[in-house]
C-alpha cells in the first residue's frame, strides 16, 4: 500500500509543502512561450533556495499535473495576458477569480480528505493497490434486454 501525505500525493524528500506551493505558483504564472522542466528548476531556485531536479518535479503529482496543464494551454493559446478595458473591470475580475480559487481549494481539500478516508478503509479491509486501480467496466450501450 502506498501511503501519501495529506494532499494525496507523495513529496520528494527535499521538496517541502511550501516548496511545492511556490513551484506551483511559478508554473501558474508562467508567461514565456516555452515551458520546460529545466526552466522551472531555474526559476524555482531563487524562490525556494535550492535547485530542484527535473526528476523531483516530475515525481510530484501536483507539479506534474500543473506542468502538463500549463504546457497544453500554452500550446493551444500561446502566452497571453488579458488586458481589461478599465481598472474597475480588472479589480472585479481579480476578486471573482480569487473567490473561485478559494472555492476550488476548499473543494479540493474536501476531496483529498475523502481520499484519505477511502485509502485508510481500503488498507483496513485488505484491498490491494492493483484492485483499486482496475479500470471501470465498459458499458455496452447497444445491448438490449
Pair 16, 28 in one domain:
yes
Report the domain count for the chain: 2
Pair 45, 92 in one domain:
no
Pair 18, 69 in one domain:
yes
Question: Quick one: pLDDT at residue 7?
Answer: 43
Which tens digit of pLDDT belongs to each residue from 13-36?
578 899 999 999 999 888 887 899
CA distances from 111 to 37, 83, 121 (A): 28, 34, 15
Pair 68, 88 in one domain:
no
- Residue span of the structural domain in which 36 resides: 8-81
CA separation for the pair 34, 74 (Å, rounded):
8
**Which set of grid coordinates corresponds to residue 123?**
488498507
CA separation for the pair 125, 123 (Å, rounded):
6
Question: Quick one: pLDDT at residue 14?
Answer: 77
| Sign for the pseudo-dihedral over CA of 58, 54, 107, 127 | positive
pLDDT class for 103, splitting at 50, 70, 90?
very high
Global pTM value: 0.56
CA separation for the pair 98, 104 (Å, rounded):
10
Question: Quick one: pLDDT at residue 2?
Answer: 37
Question: Quick one: pLDDT at residue 52?
Answer: 92
Residue 143 placed within a domain: no
Pair 68, 106 in one domain:
no
- Average pLDDT on 83-112 reads 90
Which tens digit of pLDDT belongs to each residue from 45-83?
999 999 999 999 999 999 999 999 888 888 887 776 677
Amino acid at each position: 500500500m502506498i501511503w501519501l501525505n495529506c494532499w494525496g500525493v507523495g513529496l520528494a524528500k527535499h521538496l517541502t509543502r511550501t516548496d511545492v506551493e511556490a513551484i506551483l505558483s511559478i508554473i501558474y504564472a508562467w508567461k514565456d512561450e516555452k515551458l520546460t522542466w529545466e526552466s522551472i528548476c531555474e526559476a524555482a531556485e531563487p524562490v525556494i533556495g535550492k535547485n530542484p531536479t527535473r526528476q523531483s518535479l516530475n515525481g510530484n503529482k501536483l507539479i506534474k499535473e500543473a506542468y502538463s496543464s500549463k504546457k497544453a494551454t500554452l500550446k493551444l493559446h500561446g502566452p497571453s495576458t488579458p488586458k481589461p478595458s478599465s481598472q474597475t473591470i480588472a479589480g472585479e475580475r481579480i476578486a471573482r477569480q480569487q473567490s473561485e480559487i478559494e472555492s476550488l481549494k476548499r473543494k479540493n481539500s474536501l476531496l483529498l480528505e475523502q481520499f484519505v478516508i477511502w485509502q485508510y478503509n481500503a488498507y483496513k479491509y485488505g484491498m490491494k493497490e492493483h484492485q483499486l486501480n482496475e479500470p471501470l467496466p465498459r458499458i455496452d450501450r447497444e445491448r438490449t434486454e
